[in-house]
Amino acid sequence: MTRQNPSSHRATRGFTRAHTSSRLGYFWHTINHICASHELYECVLCIFRYIGALGARVICDNIPGLVNKQRQLCQRHPDIMQAIGEGTKEWIRECQHQFRHHRWNCSTLDRDHTVFGRVLLRSSREAAFVYAISSAGVVYALTRACSQGELKTCNCDPHKRGRASDERGEFDWGGCSDNINYGIKFAKAFIDAKERTVRDARALMNLHNNRCGRTAVKRFMKLECKCHGVSGSCTLRTCWMAMSDFRKTGDYLRKKYNGAIEVTMNQDGTGFAVANKAFRKATKNDLVYFENSPDYCLQDKSAGSLGTAGRVCNKTSRGTDGCEVMCCGRGYDTTRVKQITKCECKFKWCCAVECKDCEEAVDIHTCKAPKRAEWLDQT
C-alpha cells in the first residue's frame, strides 16, 4: 500500500522551475531560502502571503503537487488560501503536542518536511492521524476566518437566527455563530480533490480519515450565552454557537489514533474490511490504516523515522515517555543541569504573589545513540 511518489507530497520545497520574470525569479529564490531554513508551516504561510503581491494565478500555478481543481480553488479564493496557511501552524503544533511523549513525535528532520512526507507515504496509523488532524486544522482555520470577517465568501452562520431553546429554556440567537458548515464544505472540496483523482486503496483511506478530522471539529461545537436582566438574572439570553479550543479536537483524534483499525480493501474496491476478523468493523468515526508502523527507534529517512537518539525520557515512567520504551532498550545518558524555579512564594496584599528565583540541580535523561553498525543498517 506504499505510494512511490514522494514528490507529490512536496507542496512547498525544492522549487527548480526556470522563470523568465526577474520578479518571479526573485520570489522563488526567496521562497527557497525560507523553506530551507524554517519550519513547514512558515514556508506554507510565506507562499500564501505572496498572493497579494504576485497574484493568485502565479502562486497557485507554481505550487507543486496541486491537482487542477485545487489550483482553481486556490486562484478563485486567495483569501481562503492564506487562512489555510495560517492554520497550518496550529495543526502541526497540535500534532507535535499529542505525540511529544511518543517515539514518533510529528517532527521533521533538519527542517526538511520531505521526511514528514515519507511518513505519509506509508499507509500507517501515523499517516491516518496526520490526514485527520490536518483536515481538522483546515476546517478550524476557515471557520475562524469566517467569523472574524476575513473571507469574502462567508460570514457568521446565517441559519442561527430567531429564537431557540435548550434545557435551560428559550433564548435568542445573536452574536456571531461560527459557520462550521462552510469550513467543512470548503475543506472537503479542497483537500479531497486530490484523492478523488485516483481510485485506489490509499485514496479511500485518506478520504475516510479526512472526513474523521472534519467532523471532529463539529463534534465539539458549544453553545455560549450572554445573560440579560436585572443584576444578571438571566431572564433573557442571547446565544451563539462557537468552536471549542482546537486542543479538544487534538485529544479526540489522538484517542482515535490509539484505537485505529487495520483494514483491507473489500472485493469490489469500494470500501474496507477489517484485517483481523476478531475485531469490530470500522465506523465512520474511526481512523483506518493498511500497514503496520515502523518502531521509529532508529533514524531511517526512507520510512520517515528520526530515531530516538538524544530524546529526553522519563526515568521513572513506564509509559511511552519512559526511558526503557523511548530509548528502545539502548539505555540513556544522564546530565545534571541547573534550573531556575520560583520558590518561597508569598501573597502580598493586594493582590499579587511574589516569589524568589531559586536554583536547583536536576537530572536530564536522554536516549543513547545506537551503535554505528546498527544505525548504518537503517539509512
Selection from 172, 173, 175 nearest residue 155 by Cα: 175
Residue 56 has φ and ψ, to the nearest 5°, of: -65, -40
Provide the pLDDT confidence category of residue 78 given band limits of 50, 70 and 90: confident
pLDDT for residue 233 is more than 80: no
pLDDT for residue 54 is more than 70: no
What per-residue confidence (pLDDT) applies to 319?
94
Provide the pLDDT confidence category of residue 85 given band limits of 50, 70 and 90: confident
Cβ–Cβ under 8 Å, residues 373 and 298: no
What per-residue confidence (pLDDT) applies to 15?
43
Provide the pLDDT confidence category of residue 48 given band limits of 50, 70 and 90: low
Mapping DSSP to helix (H, G, I), strand (E, B) and coil, where does residue 366 land?
Answer: strand
Cβ–Cβ under 8 Å, residues 151 and 80: yes
The fraction of the chain above a pLDDT of 90, given in percent, is 58
CA distance 86 to 174: 28
In order, the DSSP letters of 197-249 are T--SHHHHHHHHHHHHHHHHHHHT-EEEEEEESGGG--SEEEEEEEPPPHHHH
CA distance 12 to 24: 16
What per-residue confidence (pLDDT) applies to 7?
40
CA distance 139 to 182: 8
Pairing of β 163-166 and β 169-173: antiparallel
Provide the pLDDT confidence category of residue 14 given band limits of 50, 70 and 90: very low
For the stretch 314-349, what's the b/e string if a residue is b when 16 or more beta carbons lie within 10 angstroms of its beta carbon?
beeeeeebbbbbbbbebebeeeeeeeeeeeeeeeee
pLDDT for residue 161 is more than 70: yes
- Which DSSP state fits 105? -
Name the class of domain 308-379: alpha beta
CA distance 335 to 182: 51
- Mean of all residue pLDDT scores within the chain: 84
What per-residue confidence (pLDDT) applies to 235?
83
* Strand locations in 243-351 (E): 261-265, 272-274, 288-289, 299-300, 305-306, 312-313, 332-348
- Quick one: which H or E segment has residue 171? strand 169-173
Selection from 68, 60, 105 nearest residue 85 by Cα: 60
Query: For the chain, which residues make up each domain, given as ranges?
Result: 6-299, 308-379
- Report the sign of the C-alpha dihedral through residues 255, 258, 259, 262, in that order: positive
Cβ–Cβ under 8 Å, residues 263 and 274: yes
Cβ–Cβ under 8 Å, residues 244 and 220: yes
- What is the maximum alpha-carbon separation in the chain? 77
Pick the range with the lowest mean pLDDT from 4-13, 253-262, 289-298.
4-13
What per-residue confidence (pLDDT) applies to 108?
59
Highest mean pLDDT among 10-19, 79-88, 200-209, 270-279: 200-209
